[in-house]
Amino acid sequence: MVRSLPAPENLGVDMIGVPKDADVELDIRLESVMEGVLVTGTGRAPLSGECARCLEPLTSEIEAGFQELFFYSAEDAAEDDQILDGDLLDLEPTFRDAVVLALPLSPVCQDDCPGLCTECGIRLADAGPDHRHDKVDARWARLQGLISEHDNDQEG
Ligand SMILES: [Zn+2]
Ligand SMILES: [Zn+2]
Protein backbone atom coordinates (compact mmCIF):
# COMPACT_ATOMS: atom_id res chain seq x y z
CA MET A 1 0.00 0.00 0.00
CA VAL A 2 1.54 3.25 -1.11
CA ARG A 3 0.13 6.54 0.00
CA SER A 4 1.24 10.09 -0.39
CA LEU A 5 0.75 12.51 2.47
CA PRO A 6 1.74 16.09 3.15
CA ALA A 7 4.63 16.40 5.60
CA PRO A 8 3.72 17.61 9.08
CA GLU A 9 5.28 20.72 10.55
CA ASN A 10 8.67 20.77 12.26
CA LEU A 11 9.83 17.48 10.85
CA GLY A 12 13.54 17.72 11.32
CA VAL A 13 16.27 19.40 13.31
CA ASP A 14 17.78 22.90 13.14
CA MET A 15 20.07 22.24 10.23
CA ILE A 16 17.87 20.07 8.02
CA GLY A 17 14.39 18.67 7.75
CA VAL A 18 11.41 17.80 5.59
CA PRO A 19 9.67 20.97 4.40
CA LYS A 20 6.11 21.32 5.67
CA ASP A 21 3.51 19.97 3.21
CA ALA A 22 6.17 18.31 1.07
CA ASP A 23 5.09 15.01 -0.47
CA VAL A 24 5.83 12.13 1.83
CA GLU A 25 5.49 8.79 0.14
CA LEU A 26 4.67 5.98 2.52
CA ASP A 27 4.98 2.37 1.53
CA ILE A 28 3.34 0.39 4.28
CA ARG A 29 2.41 -3.16 5.03
CA LEU A 30 -0.19 -4.08 7.64
CA GLU A 31 -0.21 -7.40 9.45
CA SER A 32 -2.78 -8.59 11.91
CA VAL A 33 -1.18 -9.98 14.98
CA MET A 34 -2.65 -11.19 18.25
CA GLU A 35 -2.52 -7.87 20.09
CA GLY A 36 -3.15 -5.51 17.24
CA VAL A 37 -1.86 -4.42 13.87
CA LEU A 38 1.80 -4.45 13.02
CA VAL A 39 2.73 -1.71 10.59
CA THR A 40 5.96 -2.00 8.68
CA GLY A 41 6.83 0.73 6.30
CA THR A 42 9.22 2.97 4.49
CA GLY A 43 8.78 6.67 4.08
CA ARG A 44 10.43 8.80 1.45
CA ALA A 45 10.48 12.56 1.57
CA PRO A 46 12.44 15.50 0.23
CA LEU A 47 14.85 17.24 2.58
CA SER A 48 15.99 20.79 2.63
CA GLY A 49 18.42 22.50 4.89
CA GLU A 50 21.84 23.99 4.87
CA CYS A 51 25.36 22.64 4.60
CA ALA A 52 26.92 22.23 8.05
CA ARG A 53 30.27 23.43 6.69
CA CYS A 54 29.54 26.29 4.31
CA LEU A 55 25.88 27.10 5.18
CA GLU A 56 24.88 26.88 1.51
CA PRO A 57 21.22 25.81 1.07
CA LEU A 58 20.93 22.21 0.05
CA THR A 59 18.23 19.76 -0.91
CA SER A 60 18.31 16.04 -0.73
CA GLU A 61 16.08 13.11 0.05
CA ILE A 62 15.48 10.92 3.02
CA GLU A 63 14.29 7.38 3.27
CA ALA A 64 13.33 6.07 6.68
CA GLY A 65 12.08 2.63 7.64
CA PHE A 66 9.83 2.06 10.61
CA GLN A 67 7.83 -0.58 12.38
CA GLU A 68 5.15 -0.07 14.99
CA LEU A 69 2.62 -2.26 16.68
CA PHE A 70 -0.75 -0.59 17.12
CA PHE A 71 -2.59 -2.27 19.97
CA TYR A 72 -6.31 -3.06 19.84
CA SER A 73 -6.76 -2.25 23.47
CA ALA A 74 -4.98 -0.03 25.92
CA GLU A 75 -4.93 -2.90 28.41
CA ASP A 76 -2.24 -4.74 26.44
CA ALA A 77 -0.20 -1.65 25.73
CA ALA A 78 2.51 0.04 27.71
CA GLU A 79 2.62 3.77 28.26
CA ASP A 80 4.49 4.68 25.07
CA ASP A 81 2.68 2.22 22.86
CA GLN A 82 0.25 3.23 20.15
CA ILE A 83 -3.38 2.25 20.40
CA LEU A 84 -5.68 1.82 17.43
CA ASP A 85 -8.23 4.58 17.35
CA GLY A 86 -11.13 2.85 15.63
CA ASP A 87 -9.46 1.83 12.38
CA LEU A 88 -7.33 4.93 12.31
CA LEU A 89 -3.61 4.50 12.29
CA ASP A 90 -1.79 7.61 13.35
CA LEU A 91 1.55 7.02 11.73
CA GLU A 92 2.85 10.51 12.21
CA PRO A 93 4.70 10.00 15.52
CA THR A 94 6.27 6.79 14.23
CA PHE A 95 7.32 8.35 10.96
CA ARG A 96 8.60 11.44 12.76
CA ASP A 97 10.86 9.36 15.02
CA ALA A 98 12.15 7.38 12.06
CA VAL A 99 12.95 10.52 10.08
CA VAL A 100 14.72 12.23 12.96
CA LEU A 101 16.87 9.14 13.46
CA ALA A 102 17.69 8.93 9.77
CA LEU A 103 18.59 12.61 9.36
CA PRO A 104 22.24 13.30 8.65
CA LEU A 105 23.91 14.88 11.71
CA SER A 106 26.06 17.12 9.59
CA PRO A 107 24.47 17.53 6.19
CA VAL A 108 26.94 18.72 3.55
CA CYS A 109 26.32 20.21 0.11
CA GLN A 110 28.96 17.90 -1.33
CA ASP A 111 31.02 15.17 0.34
CA ASP A 112 34.24 17.14 0.15
CA CYS A 113 32.80 20.56 0.91
CA PRO A 114 35.80 22.61 2.06
CA GLY A 115 33.61 24.93 4.17
CA LEU A 116 34.22 28.61 4.73
CA CYS A 117 37.49 30.52 4.81
CA THR A 118 38.28 31.20 8.45
CA GLU A 119 39.82 34.55 7.51
CA CYS A 120 37.20 36.16 5.32
CA GLY A 121 34.20 33.81 5.48
CA ILE A 122 34.01 33.23 1.73
CA ARG A 123 32.74 29.84 0.61
CA LEU A 124 35.91 27.96 -0.33
CA ALA A 125 34.17 25.83 -2.96
CA ASP A 126 33.43 29.08 -4.85
CA ALA A 127 36.76 30.72 -4.12
CA GLY A 128 38.83 27.88 -5.54
CA PRO A 129 41.85 26.04 -4.19
CA ASP A 130 44.20 29.03 -4.60
CA HIS A 131 42.31 31.18 -2.13
CA ARG A 132 44.54 32.14 0.77
CA HIS A 133 45.54 35.11 2.87
CA ASP A 134 49.20 36.04 3.25
CA LYS A 135 48.45 38.34 6.15
CA VAL A 136 49.56 36.59 9.32
CA ASP A 137 47.46 37.06 12.43
CA ALA A 138 49.11 39.63 14.70
CA ARG A 139 49.31 37.18 17.59
CA TRP A 140 51.08 34.64 15.44
CA ALA A 141 53.39 37.32 14.13
CA ARG A 142 54.50 38.05 17.70
CA LEU A 143 55.16 34.37 18.27
CA GLN A 144 57.20 34.24 15.11
CA GLY A 145 59.22 37.18 16.42
CA LEU A 146 59.88 35.31 19.68
CA ILE A 147 61.07 32.27 17.82
CA SER A 148 63.59 34.16 15.71
CA GLU A 149 64.89 36.03 18.78
CA HIS A 150 65.33 32.71 20.51
CA ASP A 151 67.26 31.36 17.55
CA ASN A 152 69.58 34.36 17.66
CA ASP A 153 70.26 33.76 21.38
CA GLN A 154 71.30 30.22 20.64
CA GLU A 155 73.73 31.33 18.01
CA GLY A 156 75.16 34.23 20.05
ZN1 LIG B 1 29.03 23.08 1.81
ZN1 LIG C 1 39.55 34.09 2.72
In angstroms, the Cα distances linking 145 to 111, 135, 141 are 39, 15, 6
Distance 147 CA to ligand 2 centre (A): 26
For residue 129, report the distance from its CA to the centre of ligand 2, in Å: 11
At 155 the pLDDT is 54
Angle among Cα 41, 45, 47 to the nearest 5 degrees reads 140
Which listed ligand is nearest to 135 at the C-alpha?
Answer: 2
Q: How confident is the model at residue 64, as a pLDDT?
A: 96
Which residues fall inside 5 Å of ion ligand 1, going by CB? 51, 53-54, 56, 109, 113
Q: Are 15 and 52 in contact (CB under 8 A)?
A: yes
Low-confidence ranges of the chain (pLDDT < 70): 135-137, 141, 144-156
Ligand having the closest approach to the CA of 131:
2
Residue 84 is predicted with a pLDDT of 86
Q: What is the pLDDT of residues 54-78, one digit of tens each?
A: 999 999 999 999 999 999 888 888 8
Distance 115 CA to ligand 2 centre (A): 11
Burial class (CB in 10 A: 0-12, 13-18, 19+), 142: exposed
